[in-house]
Structure 1
Amino acid sequence: MAWHHKCHLCESKFSTMKSLTSNLQTVHNLVIKTETHNFVSHDEFIKWKLNEEENCKSYFVQHSSNRMHGDNKYQYLCCNRSGKVRLRGKGIRHIKTQGSCKTGMSCIANMRVLTVSQVLLRWITVLHTT
């Protein structure tokens, strides 16, 4: 079993984001705020998402393809700061002096987007701990 998600408070490792979130709530007594939004169009969602990204100084990126269930499309977006830095190349060039925005841990900030029959609907979850 792969242990991809590391708690930033106790260094415990978890196989799913759900179990990491549960650890933060039960062991560390963190209150995790979940929001649900409804949008009339994809453009309205994108406008809201860009505003959210500007406010939290992060971006929400998609690491896997969309999932289809009938006419419903599910899209999972996660925080770009989550995970370890992956250096590319052969080490010839200097690494950025500014560094990376990656935290080395799993950020629980995410968005689950459900699109129903071409109209963007609901289930946006934004969780961010800095």
Structure 2
Amino acid sequence: MTSLVLLATLWPVQKSNGEWRLTVDYRGLNEVMPPLSAAFPDMLEIQYELESKAAKWYATTAIASAFFSIPLAAECRPQFAFTWRDVQYTRNCLPQGWKHSPTMCRGLVQTALEQAGAPEHLQYIDYIIVWGDTAEVFEKGKKII
């Protein structure tokens, strides 16, 4: 069995508060990964769909650190390896910067919402909008999300 190990470049980026964030450059991995075919919602379509609902109640939320809450399968981790100060590391969770992370995140969140019985909602990666014509329907959606 062959294992793909591409040691990605690590870029330290200084944040506005003076702290540093380490970012990993996955462009090399992104170039060799086969494309995923997944329907991704267009923002204009989402806007039109929301306008067509004309519901009385709306709420929106973002799942905090969504990518970091999705574990990577152990056999996939070598693909996301990087080196820092001569030590090799691998990711344990879905990485930012990988071209398929948004698609995978969206699919997993959508599946979880469907399994939980979420009422009408729209999702864009880790943002969720729920609505209802009655307070009861709306509250059910908020609770599930």
Task: Output the TM-score relative to the length of structure 1.
Answer: 0.21
Between Structure 1 and Structure 2, the one with more helix by share is 2
Q: Specify the structure having the higher radius of gyration (Cα).
A: 2
